[in-house]
Structure 1
Amino acid sequence: MMAAITIQALPHKITKSYVDRLSTPEAGQAFVRDSELKGFAVRVTSTGAKSFILEKRIDGKVKRLTLGRYPELTVEQARKEAHKLLGHIAVGRNPPAEKKQEALKGTTLQEAFEDFIKVRKNLKPRTLYDYQRVMQVVFADWQNKAMLEIGKDMIAKRHSKTGAERGEAYANLSMRFLRALFNFAIAQYEDDSGHAILRENPVMRLTQTRAWYRVDRRQTVIKPHQLAPWYQAILSLKQDQLSKQSALVADYLLFLLFTGLRRQEAATLKWSDIDLNDRSFTLTDTKNREPLTLPLTDFISDLLRSRKAATDSEYVFAGDGKAGYLIEPRRQVQKVTELSGVSFTLHDLRRTFITVAESIDISAYALKRLVNHKMTNDVTAGYIVSDVERLRKPMEEISAQLLRHFEINEEKKVLKFPVHQNP
């Protein structure tokens, strides 16, 4: 049995037998440099792993290039690779930079998305959720594909396919996301000269060929005559004993309708944001990034007091997922639609709130403040301060009008519906 060789500082000709006999350092790593080829060496770690390296000054700095691990790479193969790289360096090439550039060229869609969400730290939870869903649903088979391999024709075909299978609006949404991801990659990944690895955004094909679907903005609301049966369905949902979430979702839908909030603003509302004594609540994370305090009507105050007594969550509308709050109550919304015959989306409730407010001539300034719309082009609005108490009266008027549409007896708070006789 051949004795182990203690690693020394002096260079030695690197051969297979010599590498096999090298001892393992007690800690860290040690190097044995070749006596024949300058810069060629063997690195040995405390775990016993051995690999070949090449050390060479490139662009004024000493670089250490890993050639490969032993014994997967033989001494002869490593020496040959070292000669090859030295030749490249001699003619002015930069192998480390070229290797980095090749790695960047191979950046996959999934890797770019991971970098994207690391940089975009302020993405709202709902936005991040939507992006993740698009990656899983529309681009599942592209996640391990290099971005350089995703061409214009592929974009056009996937846009068309998604439109046919999932709807034109969703197809546009998915491609807007992909366009943003490519724009990020163009700015993020550069070679050593500062030039973008990706030179163009292939999603621009849709703009150049005018292939985007024309999707009209939704203008749907729950009409006045539909509000009574809709409310009856809400009460049925609230009394559903088969699901503990049913009553919570019923309250959530009513809260959306009576406040005009966006669904995410309401879903992420915490009890710490609500002051039941002052009958007000504060939105700290709004779409326009400006916090807003609004009044609570009598109807919503009663609803929240009942809700608070039935939960121990920090969120007003708690969810079963790890986010902690209600995400997407599709099943319950579908049940209300089936019971009432009124098809609606969560955003329809916001539009209904605005429509009812306009029908009773609520001040435009008050309404814009209630729904947190900016008034950047209105000089007069800049001089109007709409505090909570000034907004309380218009909020109560909107609430009263909704209750009238519900056909509620104000004294007994009982829903008045005709009794259906059995045939």
Structure 2
Amino acid sequence: MAKINFTSSRIDSFKCPDDKKQAFLWDTRAPGLGLRTTPQGSKSYIFQGKLLQQSIRVTIGDPRAWSIEQAQDEARRLQRLIDGGQDPRAERTARLLAEQQRQAEAKRQHVTLGEAWEVYIRIRRPKWSERHYLDHVRFAEPGGRPALRGKKLISPGPLAPMLSLTLPELTRPTISAWLEKEVETRAAQARLAFSALCAFITWCESQEKYAGMADLNICTNRLLKEIIPRQKPKQDCLQREQLVSWFQAVLNLENPVHSAYLQALLLTGARREEMAALRWDEVDFQWKSLKLADKIEEDGREIPLTPYLASLLLDLKIRNETPPPAHILARWRKQGKEWQPSEWVFSSPASADGKIAEPRISHNKALKATGLPHLTLHGLRRSFGTLAEWVECPTGAVAQIMGHKPSAIAEKHYIRRPLDLLRVTHEKIETWILKEAKIYQADDI
């Protein structure tokens, strides 16, 4: 190969013949340094050498970006690598990979809590109940947008002040300051949000994209946990003498779906989400059973459909399958809508998913009308378990109806109560509650 001393004029004037795909010019001063050009006029400095008796070629760069002296220095450096037994191509690949890792790490350091939180709840959603998912959405609610109903703006969630912080900024002092402020106005929500945040940070450690970014000690720091007031056990529960007033108030509610739903919670001890998600195909009027979703049993649990509750659900079924008046149907047709019965037992046309969403308003209204103390929907579940003590039923049967996890060895491994055996216990409890509530006398049963 002919070699010449590289000069600026020679570099600029060098051209590729039209009958060739590329042409080369080689330097005499730096071993292996060459200039490659194409018929289109594209030029680049290259280095060519031999490693293990094989020719290798590496592109150095454009002559417009590299001076001759810089290209010569680079060619000598690459030749030294070959003399040392290294492949210049592998060395360049390693440098590019290191730079990519550096950029990826720099990008990782700028991931915010809000960005990672969205990924977290999207990935974990299939593992959660719908209520648990919505709680996590609410924790990170930025707020400030109008509510679906009314003119009020949605309040920010507990985690909203930290959504713009990067994961490395989630340190103990930062979390401590956030907790102290949140506890002042909403201690219960702060406790739940902190628990969710700890679960999120633990999850981050299992993800290559987020591992090592947030301080894992946040989840185990005793000082942080001391900021949160200790949660007191809830005691809200209907007493025997309050049953008459409670039933009268609930039966007088304008919304029959809410009325039946509240009574169903008390008469079954089911969790509010379990009962709200009940579909008509899970109600068996022939064999008197209900199939409820269960947070412990993956396939759900089957409980008896007691006589009084069956009458409530039968009324709802008739109501659900009765078409609305003709003028409403006509209006819907103009809007391109067709009426059909709801799949949900406790339906609500106003809710997004078609099932009952917020019965607490009706319940609180009923409690206020009768002067009864505050009682949560979960308090109705607690009331079922407590009132069952009056009937002296097997505690294991009551727990199975409510969907409690078995605690004793015998309950876990040996006792399997069939539906008919549960029915004896369940109907006994319902009869006693209705008798105390003066809904009907024992002679009427």
**2:218 matched residue in structure 1:** 202
Amino acid at match of 2:199: A
Q: How far apart are residue 116 of structure 1 and its match?
A: 1.3
Equivalent of residue 405 in structure 1, options 411, 436, 440:
436
Q: How far apart are residue 406 of structure 1 and its match?
A: 1.2
- Runs of 4 or more, structure 1, over 4 Å off, are 9-12, 86-93, 206-209
Equivalent of residue 169 in structure 2, options 149, 157, 176:
149
**1:176 matched residue in structure 2:** 195
Query: Is 1:134 matched with 2:139?
Result: yes
**1:379 matched residue in structure 2:** 410
Residues 288 and 201 (structure 1), Cα distance of their counterparts in 2 relative to 1, 3 Å cut: farther
Equivalent of residue 351 in structure 2, options 321, 331, 342:
321
**1:221 matched residue in structure 2:** 237
Deviations 1:246-305 (A, max 9, x none): 221111100100111001110111111110111111124434435211111110000000
Decide whether the 8 Å contact of 1:88 with 1:95 is kept in 2. Answer: no
Paired residues in the alignment total: 335
Query: Is 1:280 matched with 2:280?
Result: no
Residues 149 and 392 (structure 1), Cα distance of their counterparts in 2 relative to 1, 3 Å cut: same
Decide whether the 8 Å contact of 1:354 with 1:367 is kept in 2. Answer: yes
Q: How far apart are residue 189 of structure 1 and its match?
A: 3.5
Matches within 5 A, 1:408-419: 408-410=439-441
Indicate the SS of the match to 2:290.
strand
Q: Percent identity?
A: 26
Give me the whole-angstrom Cα distance separating, in 2, the residues matched to 1:218 and 1:33.
Answer: 82
Give me the whole-angstrom Cα distance separating, in 2, the residues matched to 1:11 and 1:187.
Answer: 53
Deviations 1:213-245 (A, max 9, x none): 2112213201111111111111221xx2xxxxx
Q: How far apart are residue 408 of structure 1 and its match?
A: 2.4
Amino acid at match of 2:367: T
Deviations 1:51-95 (A, max 9, x none): xxxxxxxxxxxxxxxxxxxxxxxx97xxxxxx9xx9997768711
Deviations 1:344-363 (A, max 9, x none): 00011011111111121011
Matches within 5 A, 1:42-57: none
Query: Is 1:250 matched with 2:259?
Result: yes
Decide whether the 8 Å contact of 2:267 with 2:430 is kept in 1. Answer: yes
Q: How far apart are residue 199 of structure 1 and its match?
A: 4.9
Give me the whole-angstrom Cα distance separating, in 1, the residues matched to 2:369 and 2:442.
Answer: 26
Residues 34 and 122 (structure 1), Cα distance of their counterparts in 2 relative to 1, 3 Å cut: farther
Matches within 5 A, 1:16-95: 35-36=43-44, 94-95=98-99
Residues 163 and 210 (structure 1), Cα distance of their counterparts in 2 relative to 1, 3 Å cut: closer
Give me the whole-angstrom Cα distance separating, in 1, the residues matched to 2:23 and 2:214.
Answer: 44
**1:364 matched residue in structure 2:** 395
Give me the whole-angstrom Cα distance separating, in 2, the residues matched to 1:206 and 1:157.
Answer: 15
Q: How far apart are residue 329 of structure 1 and its match?
A: 2.1
Q: How far apart are residue 37 of structure 1 and its match?
A: 5.7
Give me the whole-angstrom Cα distance separating, in 2, the residues matched to 1:389 and 1:323.
Answer: 34
Query: Is 1:348 matched with 2:379?
Result: yes
Give me the whole-angstrom Cα distance separating, in 2, the residues matched to 1:11 and 1:326.
Answer: 78
Residues 33 and 90 (structure 1), Cα distance of their counterparts in 2 relative to 1, 3 Å cut: farther
Give me the whole-angstrom Cα distance separating, in 2, the residues matched to 1:33 and 1:328.
Answer: 73
**1:390 matched residue in structure 2:** 421
**2:319 matched residue in structure 1:** 310
Q: How far apart are residue 159 of structure 1 and its match?
A: 1.6
Decide whether the 8 Å contact of 1:365 with 1:381 is kept in 2. Answer: no
**Unaligned runs of at least 5 residues, structure 2:** 1-20, 25-39, 48-63, 66-73, 75-88, 142-156, 321-340
**1:420 matched residue in structure 2:** none
Amino acid at match of 2:247: Y
Indicate the SS of the match to 1:282.
strand
Residues 264 and 160 (structure 1), Cα distance of their counterparts in 2 relative to 1, 3 Å cut: same
Decide whether the 8 Å contact of 1:260 with 1:353 is kept in 2. Answer: yes
Structure with larger Rg = 2
Amino acid at match of 2:167: M
**2:27 matched residue in structure 1:** none
Give me the whole-angstrom Cα distance separating, in 1, the residues matched to 2:214 and 2:115.
Answer: 14
Equivalent of residue 296 in structure 1, options 297, 305, 326:
305
Give me the whole-angstrom Cα distance separating, in 1, the residues matched to 2:364 and 2:159.
Answer: 28
**1:25 matched residue in structure 2:** none
Amino acid at match of 1:255: A
Q: Aligned-residue CA RMSD in angstroms?
A: 3.3
Indicate the SS of the match to 1:36.
strand
Query: Is 1:265 matched with 2:296?
Result: no
Decide whether the 8 Å contact of 2:136 with 2:196 is kept in 1. Answer: yes
Amino acid at match of 2:261: Y
Q: How far apart are residue 376 of structure 1 and its match?
A: 4.6
Amino acid at match of 1:100: A
Residues 144 and 104 (structure 1), Cα distance of their counterparts in 2 relative to 1, 3 Å cut: same
**Unaligned runs of at least 5 residues, structure 1:** 1-8, 13-31, 40-74, 77-82, 241-245, 414-423
Query: Is 1:99 matched with 2:103?
Result: yes
Amino acid at match of 1:108: T
Amino acid at match of 2:103: K
**1:416 matched residue in structure 2:** none
Decide whether the 8 Å contact of 2:218 with 2:224 is kept in 1. Answer: no
Give the structure-1-normalised TM-score. Answer: 0.71
**1:117 matched residue in structure 2:** 121
Amino acid at match of 2:311: D
